[in-house]
Amino acid sequence: MRALLVAGLATALMVAAHKHHDELTEEQANAPVDAILWVHMILQASVWGILFPVGMILGLSRSRWHVPLQATGFALTIGGYFLGHAHKGRQFLPSVHGSFASFLFIPIIAQLSIGIYLKLHIHERTIRPYFVIAHGILGKLYPVFGWTQMLFGAITFRGYCRGGHLGQCLAHYIMGSGFIAYAIIMAIIMLIGGGWVRRSGRSPEFWDSSVITAWGIVNTFTEHHGGGWSVKDMQHTILGVLWWAGGILGIWLSRNNQRNVVPSLIIILTGWAMSEHAQALEISTKVHATFGHTLMLAGVTRIVEICFFAPKTTPDSDDDNRSDHTLDATGPQNQSMESGHPSAAARAFRHLPPFLLVSSGLLFMSATDEELAFAHDNGMDHVTYILIMFSMAFLIYALIVYLIHLYTVSGRNTANKNSENIEMSRTKWYNRVPSAEAETPSSAVPLHVIGEDDEEVLHR
């Protein structure tokens, strides 16, 4: 199987791409999309959007299904690459989507080669530990690669972001993706990352404030490109100032592992500013307003979560070193927050801030002039358009929480599931990969506890 994959990759690299035209006739640009291109889009979206992220999670939990799943993904993405160069009908100008597709063969070949090397179990105490780290870093980048390439594909499909629209596309897609990435990190910390937060000695708001400060500094000096100052230039630049000014305060208030609401206040102010942006079309005004209000609501719910629902994050709040932030928190449903474990209300409420961040990120990414002009020209009102984005947000957040849940119940974490999942733990899918020491009685040690250092797991 590995030999076939390597051969397929080598062959794919030698295949000449179908010719892209520097100029397209109206007939070529508006030709129907044939079945081959539809299969290409659906296949690659499924592999990079679902299959590879699931495989990454199974790799983190050391599930025996990690290798088969990733090998299948490699084979399917090669097939999708060929299909992308075999379609007829609609033609496309040279694009970043095609260029990035060629670049993706570098991490694909690197990940496959490193994976095969690690399976050989050689150079255990010299080279192999470094390749383990490289393999992990590269694997965690796959969802980022997939998200980026799917965005490039959608942009290419519609012919967006060319000429004077490039700057607006970059602003909307980068910041919108940033909100979604923020939501993913927040969900991980809230649901299973309590142990890591305590070991880091920093509250979550320290990391939030640090990123906001760095982003604000960059934004302050990149929004104005010379000449006169437009209203949007001034608004975007002062938002950068707001971020680094507030971020500095947030970092200071986070000392000694203290919680604070400054990052949430920055989110609220950013949402208010975005909701007040003047727009040319009514649909654009409505979508931007809903984006801003959703972002403001995300900030408000985050304040409520911090002030009223967050468990203690100090080391002495958890005597048995278990995570306060777990999908399957132990203890009675009505256990108080003073015990260090979240109540049922806290576990339910905790999903609101990250979900609203996902929603606001999608709304902002969908609010470019070209996208909204297309919706307007096709007679779509703002209500329908906004509800489509919220529907996508539900699906994306469902995938996020499923992947987090999968980590807690697969591979080395099988033994950490609560009693309602005991029957599931007996199936082969959820068993961890046996180590070389598993055959000896001395290896009968407790399985990995969620939140332990990976270094300790490797030693065991």
10 Å Cβ neighbour count for 141?
A: 14
- Beta-carbon contacts of residue 36 (< 8 Å; ≥ 6 apart): 83, 86, 87, 88
Residue type, 332: P
For every residue of 413-443, DSSP letters joined together read GGGGS-GGGHHHHTSGGGPBPPPGGGGSGGG
Average model confidence (pLDDT) for the chain?
79
Alpha carbons 250 and 254: distance in angstroms, whole number: 6
Length reported for the chain: 460
pLDDT in tens, 163-195: 778 888 888 899 899 999 999 999 998 888 878
Cα diameter, the chain: 75
Alpha carbons 281 and 49: distance in angstroms, whole number: 33
- Beta-carbon contacts of residue 348 (< 8 Å; ≥ 6 apart): none
Return the percentage of the chain with pLDDT > 70, whole number: 76
CATH of 1-11+28-159, one of 2.130.10, 1.10.150, 1.10.3470, 1.20.120: 1.20.120
Q: What pTM did the predictor assign?
A: 0.79
CA 204 vs. chain centroid, Å, equals 18
Residue 383, Cβ density class (10 Å: 0-12 exposed, 13-18 middle, ≥19 buried): exposed
pLDDT in tens, 307-344: 988 765 444 444 333 434 333 333 333 344 444 566 78
Q: Is 15's pLDDT higher than 50? A: no
The domain spans of the chain are: 1-11+28-159, 165-409
Q: Is 70's pLDDT higher than 50? A: yes
Measured CA angle at 49 (ends 168, 107), to 5 deg: 85
The number of CA neighbours under 13 Å toward the Cβ of 431 is 7
pLDDT confidence band for 406 (50 / 70 / 90): very high
Q: Is 29's pLDDT higher than 90? A: no
Q: Is 84's pLDDT higher than 90? A: no
Query: Residue 75's pLDDT is what?
Result: 92
Alpha carbons 312 and 317: distance in angstroms, whole number: 6
pLDDT in tens, 202-219: 888 998 999 899 989 988
